Amino acid sequence: MTTAPARTTTVPVPTQSIYQTRVADYWNAEENPVNLELGRIDDLYHHHYGIGEADRSVLEEPDPELRKERITSELHRLEHAQAELLASHLGPLTPADRVFDAGCGRGGGSIVANLRHGCHADGVTISAKQCDFANEMARKRGVDDKVRYHHRNMLDTGFETGAYAASWNNESTMYVELELLFAEHARLLRRGGRYVTVTGCYNDTYGRASREVSLINAHYICDIHPRSEYFRSMAKNRLVPVHVEDLTAATIPYWELRKQADHLVTGIEDAFLDAYRNGSFQYLLIVADRV
Ligand code: GPP
Ligand code: MG
């Protein structure tokens, strides 16, 4: 009898830059109540912000414990609405289709896409801890046959060319160079596939990055791109925008409520509110077709 050599399907994480290692360190250590307490509500862990009108009556709740709970669940509702908006733009998908979640965090977005479309999802994160957490959530929900998270670099996934009907970045583009990122999305998407991003970008009409934008960069160790860079880099990579929406006004109520959530604040709330209000920063949805 002969034995076949042991084979593994695990693809090693490509060599990381020192910058990427520092970013991974941040996310391996991150345990902000604003992410964990919101996610605990329904095991949908999001790493993005919210949109829509906030129910500010939660702030008037007289019982202190109930007040905290109501604020937490209102913020979660707004974050979930953002995830649903993104998922609604992934196009008509069938349960046989495959989608790619670039910078998946603790995995909420891929679950939302699977719940809505029944599709297969592959999420990638350079944080091993987030990846393990997300896979555990998919197992707990019983969707681990279709939703999988991988400890990989979104610029160099090793996934199959043309295998994806849709892909997205939900607030994760500011960690990478856009030309490299869109080249990988264009490679993975089949012709006619959909790419969606929700992102914070700095406003070219303001000039360069404002003080508040720079504070946000320092807080998350990221590098927010100008709005123009998205369209320039997409055009170079066969991604043709079909829908662009400025969500800045829609996200301000989330930040106003979050600022008043003493049990959840991280200290970055004023930078976002000031940046949005002084016109230096925009919260944008971009939907593009892969041609
Ligand atoms: C939020 O994640 C998003 C980022 C870290 C990327 C930066 C986004 C911009 C729009 C500039 P999170 O939910 O982990 O952040 P927080 O802990 O502040 O809630
Ligand atoms: Mg958060």
Average pLDDT over residues 227-247: 98
- Residue 16: how many CA atoms within 13 Å on its side-chain side? 19
- Tell me if 48 CB under 6 Å of ligand 1: yes
- Tell me if 224 CB under 6 Å of ligand 1: yes
CA 177 to CA 83: how far, in whole Å?
A: 23
Q: In the prediction, which pLDDT does 15 show?
A: 78
- Tell me if 176 CB under 6 Å of ligand 1: no
Judged against a pLDDT cut of 80, whether residue 12 lies above it is answered with no
Average pLDDT over residues 69-92: 98
Average pLDDT over residues 158-176: 98
Q: In the prediction, which pLDDT does 5 show?
A: 57
Judged against a pLDDT cut of 60, whether residue 3 lies above it is answered with no
Comparing CA positions, the residue from 13, 91, 95 lying closest to residue 287 is 91
- Tell me if 32 CB under 6 Å of ligand 1: yes
**CA 205 / ligand 2 centre spacing (Å):** 28
Q: Which two tokens stand for residue 248?
A: 């800045």
Judged against a pLDDT cut of 90, whether residue 68 lies above it is answered with yes
- Tell me if 47 CB under 6 Å of ligand 1: yes
Ligand 1: which of 22, 197, 220, 252 to mutate, judged by most atoms within 8 Å of the beta carbon? 220
Judged against a pLDDT cut of 80, whether residue 72 lies above it is answered with yes
Angstrom distances, CA of residue 7 to CA of 3, 4, 11, 13, 290:
11, 8, 11, 17, 35
pLDDT more than 90, % of the chain: 95
- Tell me if 216 CB under 6 Å of ligand 1: yes
CA 75 to CA 70: how far, in whole Å?
A: 9
Judged against a pLDDT cut of 80, whether residue 232 lies above it is answered with yes
- Tell me if 123 CB under 6 Å of ligand 1: no
Q: Across the chain, what does the average pLDDT equal? A: 96
Range scoring the smallest mean pLDDT among 13-17, 126-130, 233-237, 239-243? 13-17
Long-range CB contact pairs, 53-58, < 8 A, 24+: 53/253, 54/78, 54/253, 54/254, 54/256, 54/257, 56/257, 58/257
Query: The tokens 């406003």 sit on which residue?
Result: 203
**CA 103 / ligand 1 centre spacing (Å):** 11
Ligand 1: which of 46, 49, 126, 178 to mutate, judged by most atoms within 8 Å of the beta carbon? 49
| Cβ(44)–Cβ(109) below 8 Å | no
Task: Kindly indicate the confidence band of residue 133, based on its pLDDT and cuts at 50, 70 and 90.
Answer: very high
Taken in order of first residue, the domains within the chain and their CATH numbers are 18-290 (3.40.50.150)
Judged against a pLDDT cut of 70, whether residue 268 lies above it is answered with yes
